[in-house]
Amino acid sequence: MGRRGKYLLIDLDGRAMLIAHLRMTGDFAVARAGTPDPPHTRVAFRLNGRELRFIDQRRFGHMDLIDLTRPGRMAEWVRERRLGAEPLDPAFTSARFREILTGRRGALKPLLLRQDLVAGIGNIYADEILFQARLSPLRRVTSLRPAEVRGLYRQIRTVLHRAVERLSRGDEAVGGLLASREKGGICPRCGRALRMASVGGRTSYYCERCQR
Ligand SMILES: [Zn+2]
């Protein structure tokens, strides 16, 4: 299994790729074959004596099945889905990130959420990345100094890498801001009340003192 942006890639013997996006409430579970399906089971794959089930209460999740025997099909899928740079790929360097930001305008956070620029950053992790990089979600991208761009790049890699590691072990995704990211939450660095604002239509939490 692999991952591209927010998509899970399940390689079926090199002949086909099953691609799943969990969205809000989707999840996979493995169970013994023949045991009753839990509520909201949408798809069940029969394996040897077991079942892989896709459970999704709100049905926002979706799957693609693509034919890998067609040359270039995977690259074509990436283009169809308009996926940008893969943040944990070695090809995503600090220089590449600077290039991606060149010529962009507006507030920082909506740019981090654009899957066609850098794929895989969601709303909550964007807040965590900005907290760790000490940058405000409202900060204008054109005002960033080179050292701030490098710091942001480092935090994109660090925060996502840590989240993937922890969540694939089954641990909670603990971060600096994540646990305090709620109404009345306080900044884990300075103890001030966090600010909640809508930035580019998405709820954002940040500390006005620590993030500039
Ligand atoms: Zn603070």
Å from CA of 83 to ligand 1 middle: 33
State how far the alpha carbon of 5 is from the alpha carbons of 2, 87, 112, 122, 140, in Å: 10, 8, 13, 10, 25
Which pair of tokens denotes residue 31? 């169970």
Contact (Cβ atoms closer than 8 angstroms) between residue 156 and residue 87: yes
Å from CA of 211 to ligand 1 middle: 7
Per-residue pLDDT of the chain (212 residues; tens, 9 = 90+): 999 999 999 999 999 999 999 998 999 999 999 899 999 999 999 999 999 999 999 999 999 999 999 999 999 999 999 999 999 999 999 999 999 999 999 999 999 999 999 999 999 999 999 999 999 999 999 999 999 999 999 999 999 999 989 888 888 777 788 888 888 999 999 999 999 999 999 999 999 999 99
Å from CA of 93 to ligand 1 middle: 29
Å from CA of 133 to ligand 1 middle: 12
Å from CA of 90 to ligand 1 middle: 32
Q: Rounded to an integer, what distance in angstroms lies between the CA atom of residue 136 and that of residue 107?
A: 9
Å from CA of 212 to ligand 1 middle: 10
Å from CA of 111 to ligand 1 middle: 23
Q: Rounded to an integer, what distance in angstroms lies between the CA atom of residue 117 and that of residue 124?
A: 17
Å from CA of 206 to ligand 1 middle: 8
Sign of CA dihedral 13, 18, 22, 25: negative
